Structure 1
C-alpha cells in the first residue's frame, strides 16, 4: 500500500468518524477455501505488512462482494488498525462456487470456513467476527456453535431469528422481502440502474407488489426469478421447517463470546436484536448495545458500527483498553439525548395501561360500555401503511393523517398530556376483536399527535389470525367468540411531549409493507382471490382492550 493509498485510508477514516490510523497492509485476493461438499468459496486476506508469525483474525462473511464500498467500510478500516482480516464471499456470490440460497447454507459453510482459517499458518487460533445485516446473520450461524469459541462477535442490525424480518407474527413482510430480493437479484447483473431508469424500475416494483399471484412478482419487477423470493413465497406458513436451518434463536449460548451490537429504532431488525439482547444477558454473555435513531443501514448507523467495533476488536484481539461507559446506550427520540443503562430493557420502568373506549378515545381507566366499534378491511383496496421500519426511505416516521381519515381504520385518541412521558422498552397491546372471517390480520399502531394535529407513527405490530381451531399462546377465544389478541409492537425509547396526545390505530393491514390477507386461507404464493372482512373491536368491562406502555420513572 503506497503513500496515496494510506492518504485515502486516512480520509476514509475521517469520513467514517474513526480515529486516524495508517498501519500498512497487504491484500491477497481470491484465496480459495474448500467446503466439505467440494464447493470452493473465495476470500480476500488483509495482513499487516511485515508481520511475523501468526496473528488473530477478524472474519467477515457476506454476499455483497469484497470490493468497493464493502471493502472500504468493513475490511480496510480494521486492517489500517493493524488487524488481520479475512473477508469471504458467501456461497454463490462474487466468484464463490455453488448457488446462493440466502440463509440456508451459512451454518455449515461458516463453521467450515472458521476451521480452515484456524488451520492457516498466519492464524494464531483466535478469531472474531463482525458485520451487519446479512453478515450479522453469518455470525449467528457460527458463534453459538464454534468449538473452541470465538473471541468476540459483533452481530449488528440483524437477529438470531432472521425470519422475523420477513414474517412478522405470521404476516409476510411483503415490501421488505421484495425489495431485498430484487437488490440481491441485480447485484451481479448490472447493479444500480442508471438514474433515468430508476423511476421505471420503481413503478415496476410498485406494480409487482400489487400483483396476484405473488409467486412471480420477482419476474414482473426485474425480468428474472430470484431464489430468495421463491423461497419466501413458497415457505410463508408459520413454522415452516424450511427455515429451521436459518434461525438460531434456540441455540445454546454456552459458547457465545462477548457481543457488541448496534441497531436503530427504525431498523427492521430492531425487535429481533433486542430480543437477542435479553437472551444474551440472561445467559451471562458480556454485551454492549447501542440503539440510535436510525433506519437500516443509514450512514449514522454504519458509523456507529465501525466506531464501536474499532474499540471492541482492538480490545479483544490487540489488548487495547476496554470500551468505557454503560453497557447499554439508548437514544431517547424527541428528547435529543442518550440514556445509559446496565441492561435492556432498562430498570425503573412502570407499565402504564391506556384503555380503548367507545367513541374513539383512549383513557387510563377501563371502558365500561358501549357498542363495539367496527370497520371493514377489503383486500381489493387494502389499508395503506406509511413509514415504519423499512429497508429504505420512506421508512421511519411519517404523517399518518391520510391513513387515519379512511373508514377502514379505527382511530382512538387520548387526552392532552400534562407532562412529558418517556416510553422506553417493549410496547404491547391486547385487543378484543371479532373478525368476520377466520383468516384475518390485526394491525395496531401507536402514534404521537403534536399540537399541530399531525399524527406521526412511533411503533406498531401485526398479528396474522388463523381459524379459531388453531391454538396460540397470544390469542384466546372467549365464550362469546371474541378473540383476545396480544400484539407485540416494536420496542422504542421515545418522549411524548407535554401538550401532545397518544393515538392508537387498529386496522386489518398495512400495505404494501405487509402482504394483504385475502381472507381465504389459500397458499400465499398462489392465492388470487380475496374477500372483505368486517371487524368488531370491543372495549367494554368484559373486554378491556388496552395499550401497554413501559414508562420510565
Structure 2
C-alpha cells in the first residue's frame, strides 16, 4: 500500500513484482584501507545487471533510501547507496569535497568486480549527490552509462564565493546541518535550532559561526572561510569543470530558478551543448530541495536511467530544454539554451527612474553602507529560510538601498536567459560590494525579487578611471519570467545583502578574521558618460 502511494505521489506507473532484495552495510574498500558502508537494492531475481550508484553524505535511510533505493529498484533498476567517507558509519574523516574523486572511482571499480554487476554503471542524485557524480563521470574508464544531475554543478567554488563574496547564509546553514546531522532526532524539524543558526550568521568573525550555531566547530566552515581570498586554489580538488566539454556520458539535469546552483548548472549544460553532446535540462519555479521539485526530478532520473539501462526509450521523447516561464504558468520547450532573445537595456536615471539612457549630466546618487548595520537580504536563492520571491518593501525603504523604477509596461515582457548589470560606481574605501537586484512591481506597489547578483570590488580590481569611478560588471542569475502588462521593472543597487552574502568590512581584512569595519560611502553614476544599466534577454515567441 505504501509503495503504491509513493508511486502515485511521484506520478510513476505502478511497479509490478515482489519487493526488492535489500543488502545492508556492504563494506567497500578504498585504496588507503578505509571502508565505506554501502546498501544494495536489487529487483527480486537479479543475478547480473547494471547498477545505479548514489553516493551521499546524508545517510542511507529515510526519504533518501525510499526515493533512490526502494523506488528505483521496484522499477527495475539495481541501485546501491553509499555513505561517503566519514559519514553514517563509513570509516575515515568527513571532509566535504576532498576525496570524492578517489573514493568514487574506487567504488565504481569495486562494483564492476561484483558478480551481480554486469559492468554497466550509472549515477543519480541531487545537490552534493550530484557533486559526487561530477567527481567520477569525467574520470572513469570505461565511462558511466548515464549521469542524472539534480540541482548541482561540476564546480561548487562559485557557489561558495559568488562574485568573490562568501555566501555566508548558505555556508553557515550547511555547516550547521552537517555538524549535527548524525545526532539523535536531527532529521526532525527544529524551529529553535533554525533560529539559533540564523542568529549565528551575524556572529563575528564568521569563521566562528559554527560554534555559535551548534556549540562546536565544523571543519568545513573553517575551510570555506579560511580560503575565501582571491588566488587561493585550495578547492581545486572540488572543481571538475575542466572535464565537462570532453564528457561523453549521456546527461540529464534538473534545476530551479531559485536554486543556488542554477547559474553554474546552466554553464555546464551550455558547455556540453557547445561540445556537440546532447544533454537535457528541466528548470522549474523551485528553490533548492523544494518538495515540489522532487516529483519532477525522480520522474526525470528514473525515466532517463531506464532508457539507458533497461532499453525503455519512452522518456527520451522530449525537447533538450524544458523550462517554466514564471508568472505565465506555462512550460516552454526549446532545442537549446539560451533561446534566441534580444538584449535590451534599461538605464538607471536620476531621481530613481529606469528606462531610456539619460542624455546629459547628472549628479551621482550617494548612499552609505555600514558593516555594523549591513543591508539585509530578503528572499532569493537561499539554501534555507524564507527564499524565492518575497516582499521587498522594508529593504527598499532603507537609506542604503537605491531604487530605480520604470514606467508601467504596455505589454507583457518575457525575459528568458542571462541577465547582467553595468554599474558605474565610486567608493570611499575601495573595498566594497556592488549588489544588484531586479524586482517585479505590481499595480498595488508590491515589489517582489526576480533575480540578483553581486560583485566584490578591491583596489585596482577592476581599475578605476581618473576620477575614481569603477565600471562594475555584475552577472545576475539567469531567469525565465513574465513581467505582466501594467507592472513595472525595478532595480535595487546596494552595498550588500546580509546574511546571504558576508558583510564587506571595508578594510580588506580576510573574511575569516574580520571583526571591525568602516562605513563606506558609495556614489552611483547614471549620466550620459556613465550609462549604468541592466540588460535583459527579451524573448519574443
TM-score category by the smaller chain? Answer: over 0.9
Give TM-score scaled by structure 1 length.
0.95
Residue 351 of structure 2 corresponds to residue 354 of structure 1: no
What residue number does 1:177 align with? 171
The whole-number CA distance in structure 1 between the counterparts of 2:185 and 2:209 is 19
Q: Distance in 2 between matches of 1:226 and 1:19?
A: 43
Shift of 1:255: 3.5
Provide structure 2 residue ranges, at least 5 long, that are not aligned to the other structure: none
Instruction: Quote the residue 1:3 is aligned against.
Output: none
**Cα distance, 1:22 vs structure 2:** 3.3
Instruction: Please point out which of 15, 21, 28 is paired with 1:26.
Output: 21
1:215 is paired with a residue of what secondary structure?
helix
Alignment RMSD, CA only? 1.4
CA 1:530 to 1:346, structure 2 compared with 1: closer, same or farther past 3 Å? same
Shift of 1:400: 0.4
Matching residue of 2:414: 422
Query: Is residue 131 from structure 1 mapped to residue 125 from structure 2 by the alignment?
Result: yes
CA distance in 2, matches of 1:410, 1:453: 17
User: Which residue of 145, 151, 159 corresponds with 2:153?
Assistant: 159
Equivalent residue number for residue 531 of structure 1: 518
Please give the alpha-carbon distance, in whole angstroms, between the structure 2 residues aligned to 1:448 and 1:367.
26
Number of aligned residues: 538
8 Å CA contact 2:247, 2:272 repeated in 1: no
- 8 A Cα contact 2:357 2:528, kept in partner: no
Confirm or deny that 1:326 pairs with 2:319: yes
Q: Mark the runs of 5 or more structure 1 residues left unpaired by the alignment.
A: 1-6
Distance 2:264 2:510 in 1: 26
Q: What is the correspondence of 1:21-420 to structure 2 with a 5 Å cutoff?
A: 21-24=15-18, 25-52=20-47, 54-192=48-186, 198-251=190-243, 253-322=245-314, 323-347=316-340, 349-420=341-412
Q: Does 1:499 align with 2:486?
A: yes
Deviations 1:331-371 (A, max 9, x none): 00000001110011112x10001011111111133453210
Q: Distance in 1 between matches of 2:366 and 2:74?
A: 61
CA distance in 2 between partners of 1:487 and 1:239 (Å): 20
The equivalent residue for 2:458 is 466
- TM-score, normalised via structure 2 length: 0.97
Runs of 4 or more off by more than 6 Å in structure 1? Answer: none
Report if the CA contact (8 A) 2:159-2:167 is conserved. Answer: yes
Secondary structure of the residue aligned to 2:348 is: strand
Instruction: Indicate which of 534, 538, 541 corresponds to 1:551.
Output: 538
Q: Secondary structure at the match of 2:31?
A: coil
Give the Å deviation of 1:321. 1.6
The CA deviation at 1:478 is 2.3
| Post-superposition offset of 1:409 | 0.5
User: 2:366 is paired with a residue of what secondary structure?
Assistant: strand
Separation in structure 2 between the aligned mates of residue 339 and residue 279 of structure 1, nearest angstrom: 21
2:2 to 8, 16, 21: 8
3-state SS of 2:198 partner: helix
Aligned counterparts of 2:494 and 2:309: Cα–Cα separation in 1: 50
Alpha carbons 2:173, 2:384 under 8 Å: kept: no
Distance 1:151 1:70 in 2: 22
Structure-2 change in CA distance of 1:311 and 1:199 (3 Å): closer
- Secondary structure in 2 aligned to 1:384? coil
